[in-house]
Each structure stands twice: as C-alpha cells, then as structure tokens.
Structure 1
C-alpha cells in the first residue's frame, strides 16, 4: 500500500487552521477545487464513520484513525459511495 504524506506550513494559530479546515461552513471553500458542492459528514469519533461527498451524494467512506485537536487528524478510507450505497468490498475500492 502506498502512503501519501503532505505537509504545508501556514502562518496562523493551529486552532484557526483546524476550524477553517473542518468547520462545516468553511469546509467547502477549500474542497471546491476537487469537488464543487462537496461536504463532509462525521460523528467526530475515532473508529466512527466519516463521509466525504460531492454535490450528488457520491464520494468516500472513511473512519477517523487518530484525532488530537487541533494538531492531528488521520483518516483511513474504507470505500466509496455511489448512488447512495456504500461499497466497502468491490475490486474498484
């Protein structure tokens, strides 16, 4: 499995960056570049379900593997959502 790691230095307090990234009112401002009308639904629980959706309700099913506000948030992608159905097992996933 390939692991991707990205790092960007931002001159702002950690709490402000966290809020901009994960606040439901600002999330779409930075994700619109890959999926217009994108949204994220989560229970904010480690091991719970998180959904990354496009404007048509398709997207990814994930779980939070690790969370230490406001410094660390690690998602594990489990599968996809197509036409309102979770797909966690197909070869495409």
Structure 2
C-alpha cells in the first residue's frame, strides 16, 4: 500500500466544506472529477456501509470508520460492486480520509488515500481536480 496525500486551501468555513463533501447534490458535483454521474447510497454514520456507484450502478462499498462532523471522515474500502453483486477484495488497509483544518481565512482540506499501485496513477490524475471542484463549490455556491 502506498499513501497519497492531497490538500487545498479553501476560502470557506469547515462547515461549508463539509456540506459540499457529503451532501448528496454537491457530492455528485465534485466527484464528477472521478466519474461523471457518481453517486452514493447509504449513510455517513460511523460503522455503516456506504456504496459508491458510477452511472452504470457499478462501484465499490466501504465502511465508515470515522465521522467527526466538520473535521474528519474516513472509510475502509471493502470490495467491488458489479451488476449488483458485491465482491469482497483483499485490499488490506485501503482507506480514504478527509481532514478539515480551520485556518485564519477558511479551511485546509486534506485527503489521504492508502491505495495499491494499481490505482495510484488514477488517484494522482483525478484527486487534484476533485479537490478543486470542492473549492469552487464551497467558495462560490454556498
């Protein structure tokens, strides 16, 4: 596993950034950087399972490890979903964590992903645009 880290400064409160990250409509907008039409099914409650889908209803499922509103959200990726079938994967500690730090002029948003070599280039190519989408939404639409 390799840990990738991305961060962006956002001129908006942690509360606004949090809303952009996890409220359904905004989530669909910023995650379009990964796949247009992305959406989730489930809740953000700690311990719950969230399913992340593309427009073809394929994707992955994860357990919410931590939900500390306006500060931290963390997932453990458990498996893939294809044609409605969940298939567990041996991804070890494949986690995705979002950290929000209040600053004098807004929020520092950090994303930390533990991933296999297989997905490294994808995340390195897509995550900067995804965080830019979060910034644009938080600064201009809320």
**TM norm structure 2:** 0.59
Q: Which has the higher contact order (CA 8 A, sep 6+)?
A: 2
The equivalent of 1:60 in structure 2 is 60
The equivalent of 2:72 in structure 1 is 72
Answer 1 or 2: which has greater strand percent: 2
Structure 1 distance, partners of 2:65, 2:37, is: 25
**TM norm structure 1:** 0.87
1:27, distance to aligned residue in structure 2 (A): 1.1
Structure 1 distance, partners of 2:89, 2:68, is: 29
* Superposed counterparts of 1:1-93, under 5 Å: 1-89=1-89
> Is the partner of 1:28 in helix, strand or coil?
helix
> Is the partner of 1:5 in helix, strand or coil?
strand
- Give 4+ residue runs of structure 1 displaced > 6 Å after superposition: none
Structure 1 distance, partners of 2:89, 2:6, is: 27
1:65, distance to aligned residue in structure 2 (A): 0.9
Structure 2 distance, partners of 1:29, 1:87, is: 27
Answer 1 or 2: which has greater helix percent: 2
Q: RMSD in angstroms over aligned alpha carbons?
A: 1.6
**1:37-87 CA deviation, whole Å, 9 max, x = no partner?**
110122222111011100011011101111110110011111110111101
Q: How many residues align?
A: 91
Structure 2: gaps of 5 or more residues:
92-142
Structure 1: gaps of 5 or more residues:
none
